[in-house]
Amino acid sequence: MAGVLEMTYIGDLVENKRFLIFAPKCATVEKVLKIMAENEITAIPVASSPEQQASMEGTTFFEGSSHFIGIVSMLDVVLHIGDNLDDCKNALQTPVSDLIGQTIESRALWTAGPHVKLIDGMECMSKGIHRFLVPIHEHNDEPSPHEATQFRLLTQTDVVSFILEHIDEMGPCVSRTIADLGLLHPNMAALSVPSNIALSSALRLMHRKPAFSSFAVVEAPREEDMDSSQEQQMGVTGGKLVGSLSVNCFRGMGVEELSWSLRPEMTVAGFLKMSAEKGFSRPLVRVRPTTPLGTAMAEAITNKVHRVWVTDEDGWLLGVVSFTDIISAARRGPTSFVHQQR
């Protein structure tokens, strides 16, 4: 299993990818939202000005880059617009640099050289890093981020796609079931929100719990079973799975769709229905504890999602398998990963 991962380099996976799409720090939120919608991306690095360049130490992995001051995600933009619905026009003219630091993801910008072994990059991704900037320089085989003239982006999706393409070389790990590999995390069941909760409240919860970039949406409780406070209904575990809420649900949306979606009366169920009708939503992918890891990977990549939900035969939520889990399992192999906590 380790052979192909040891012999492959990060640069190999990004060789044919387009150069990095980024925004200058003076760009407005409106401009950045347009770039995201046109390119169907949910995060964009923000370029720094020369006087803000910071020195760094190291030769392989860097936290940040002197070319960039951070990364803005769709969640940053959505929360900003939602907080300023009464003055949306002015909110859209806010410099995008003002949004950096509001979420953990906006501060998590990592760079890895093209000659870093894939298996070493996977170690970082198995700890929750979603992407690397890969510096490219036509006159330097191993540029530092300071010297690079261009960057490409390596994502967890790229790595899982590579593993799937070389599944015959991955060894027995990919044929073992989710339960056998210890991926259900019985003590860390997936956070879920009821379908009748306000969308704005669910997004705020996502902001407060950065370890969870997606929530399972479960069937709303019966009226007689509901708590008096919506806040008490959020962040629960389990329930009958009816949907999935993540920043990917906003992929491709423009100002009009976002403003309509973020109205105070919009529920999670109403938003998911609108998102599906307008073609923004991604499929809800379910697997069972007995599903092989390779099958779970294929389902995620085919449906362009970053996680699969684990349910029982009646549709009750048991857990979630994310790309972070998959990369960790593929890197460690079946024996050392069992019962490891996320």
247 assigned to some structural domain:
yes
User: According to the model, what pLDDT value does residue 237 have?
Assistant: 60
248 with 316, same domain: the answer is yes
In a domain, 264, yes or no: yes
Give how many domains the chain has, as a whole number: 2
Per-residue buried b or exposed e for 118-155, using 16+ beta carbons within 10 Å of the residue's own CB: bbbbbbebbebbbbbbbbbeeeeeebbbeebeebbbbb
Position 141 scores a pLDDT of: 56
Task: Provide the whole-model pTM.
Answer: 0.84
Domain contains 166: no
Burial class of residue 41 in the structure, from the number of CB atoms within 10 Å of its CB (0-12 exposed, 13-18 middle, 19+ buried): middle
Q: Averaged in consecutive runs of 10 residues, what is the pLDDT profile of the chain (342 residues)? A: 84 93 92 92 81 34 61 91 92 93 72 93 91 78 57 95 93 90 67 91 84 84 55 62 92 90 94 90 92 96 94 92 92 52 37
Q: Are residues 329 and 293 in the same domain?
A: yes
Boundary residue ending a domain (134, 160, 186):
160
Q: Residue 342 domain-assigned?
A: no
Q: Quote the pLDDT of residue 340.
A: 39
Could you say which of 160, 184, 209 is where a domain stops?
160
Whether residue 61 is found in the same domain as residue 136:
yes
Asked whether residue 141 is assigned to any structural domain, the reply reads yes
CATH of the domain at 23: 3.10.580.10
Note whether 312 and 278 are within 8 A (CB).
no
Q: In this predicted structure, what is the pLDDT of residue 51?
A: 37
**Structural domain boundaries enclosing 285:** 173-337
Classify residue 165: in a domain, yes or no. no
Q: In this predicted structure, what is the pLDDT of residue 228?
A: 44
* Amino acid 48: pLDDT: 79
Does residue 178 lie in a domain region?
Answer: yes
* Domain C-terminal end among 160, 182, 202: 160
